[in-house]
Every structure is written in C-alpha cells, then in structure tokens.
C-alpha cells in the first residue's frame, strides 16, 4: 500500500482511502454511508498501522507436511477509541485484529475553551505491557489526543501509536511536541483549524455525522 512518510507522520495515500474520504467529506453524504465508509477506511488504516508489528517463528503442521510459520509476537495489542467518534474506527480494526483488547477513554471537548475533560476510562489491567493504538477520526487541536496519551502514560504504557482520519497541521505539531515518540497515521493533513477548532476543509463534526445527532 502506498504511503507517504514524514517525521513520525504517515499519510496513507492509498486511492481507496482517498476516494472514500472524499465521499465522507461531502455534506450530503448520509449518516449510514458515513458510518460505513469510516468502518471501511478503518480497516485500511489498521493494515498500515500494524505493518511493522514484530513476528516470531512458529512450527506448524499442514495437512501435507510440517512447516515453519510465524505469529504476532508479544501480548495482544490494545485499540483505544476516544469516545465518542473514535468508536467509528473500532469495528473495522477489530475485523482485522479480532483478538485485540479495547480500552475506552471518554474525553469531552469543551466547545468554548476546547479543553479536554475525562469522563470515562476503562482499560485492560495489564495495559502497560501492551502496544496501545489510540484512535480518533479527527486530530484538530490535539487537546483530546494529548490528554488521552497522557492518561495511558500515567498507566505505564510506553508503546503507543495514534491513528486518525483527518489531521490539522496545528494538531500534528502539538501532538508531536507533547509526545514526540508517538507516531501518527492519518489519511489527510488538511489546511488549517478555524476559530471554532474545526478542521478546514475537514468533514464537520465526526461524532455528529457518525451518529446523526445534528
Ligand atoms: N472534531 C470534529 O469532529 N471535527 C473537527 O473538524 C474538529 C474536531
């Protein structure tokens, strides 16, 4: 799959991703189509974010002969959706990694100040020993992404990745500044943030479009 890499940020430029993202951006796209497209894109993003996962050798027996195979090394990874829009990326990723664990983190972005407040956190007890992939469709101010990663680090997690659908240049800069060792995967880096903290051109409020709440 073709990707463009830059200083800790991978833009997944695969034609299927870009085609689907353009449909998602259109204001006339229905809630049902938006949700389905996000699920489809999430499997493609998942493929990219797991591309370099370490493997270990394993001996197997096929119906014909003994053979050398491989399996994913280490403990099962954790997918960590930031509620609520992050849930839109979860099911497609779980299709590819059905044994993954899930950590839910509820962060509310105050509409006036854009500051993130945590209202829910539930994660596997041994999360510190696992790779945690934080997922949220929109990396806008990065306030929620920074707060989520802060929280996982407090729980001892050292191996983190961040996946989004659309990022702002400001959000990338802020996330890289706070957590420079956390690599980012996105389908697009858009032009800018507007005065309300929305990504331009973006796709509007991902949570509202996903759940039809506005
Ligand atoms: N959250 C969204 O859902 N959309 C934006 O453009 C910014 C933050």
pLDDT tens string 94-152 = 999 999 999 999 988 787 887 888 999 999 999 999 999 999 999 999 999 999 999 99
DSSP 108-146: EE-TTT--EEEEEEE--TTGGGSEEEEE-SEESSSHHHH
Task: Answer whether residue 5 shows pLDDT above 80.
Answer: no
Question: Taking the model in full, what pTM does it have?
Answer: 0.94
Predicted confidence at residue 12, as pLDDT, reads 97
Predicted confidence at residue 196, as pLDDT, reads 92
The hierarchical CATH code for the domain 3-56+64-211 is: 3.40.50.2020
Sorting pLDDT into bands at 50, 70 and 90, what band is 3? very low
Interatomic CA distance for residues 24 and 22, integer angstroms: 5
Predicted confidence at residue 2, as pLDDT, reads 42
205 lines ligand 1 (CB under 6 A): yes
Q: Where along the chain do its domains lie?
A: 3-56+64-211
pLDDT tens string 80-96 = 999 999 999 999 999 99
What mean pLDDT is reported for the chain?
95
88 lines ligand 1 (CB under 6 A): no
Probe target for ligand 1 pocket from 85, 87, 110, 199, with the most ligand atoms within 8 Å of CB: 199
List 50, 84, 109, 144, catalytic entry: 109
pLDDT tens string 32-79 = 999 999 999 999 999 999 999 999 999 999 999 999 999 999 889 999
The residue-averaged pLDDT of 158-165 equals: 98
Crossing angle of the two packed helices 15-25 and 31-49, in degrees rounded to 10: 150
């Amino acid at each position: 799959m073709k990707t463009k890499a830059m200083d800790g940020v991978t833009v997944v430029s695969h034609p299927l991703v870009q085609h689907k993202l353009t449909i998602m951006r259109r204001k006339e796209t229905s809630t049902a189509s938006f949700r389905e497209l996000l699920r489809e894109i999430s499997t493609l993003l998942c493929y990219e974010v797991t591309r370099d996962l370490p493997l270990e050798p394993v001996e197997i027996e096929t119906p014909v002969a003994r053979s050398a195979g491989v399996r994913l090394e280490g403990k099962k990874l954790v997918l960590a959706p930031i509620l609520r829009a992050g849930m839109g990326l979860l099911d497609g990723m779980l299709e590819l990694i059905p044994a993954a664990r899930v950590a839910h983190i509820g962060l509310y972005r105050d509409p006036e100040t854009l500051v993130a407040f945590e209202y829910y956190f539930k994660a596997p007890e041994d999360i510190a020993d696992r790779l945690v992939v934080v997922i949220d469709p929109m990396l806008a101010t990065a306030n929620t992404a920074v707060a989520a990663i802060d929280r996982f680090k407090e729980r001892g997690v050292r191996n983190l990745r961040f996946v989004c659908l659309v990022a702002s240049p400001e959000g990338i800069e802020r996330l890289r500044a706070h957590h420079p060792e956390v690599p980012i995967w996105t389908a697009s880096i858009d032009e800018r943030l507007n005065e309300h903290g929305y990504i331009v051109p973006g796709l509007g409020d991902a949570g509202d479009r996903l759940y039809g709440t506005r």
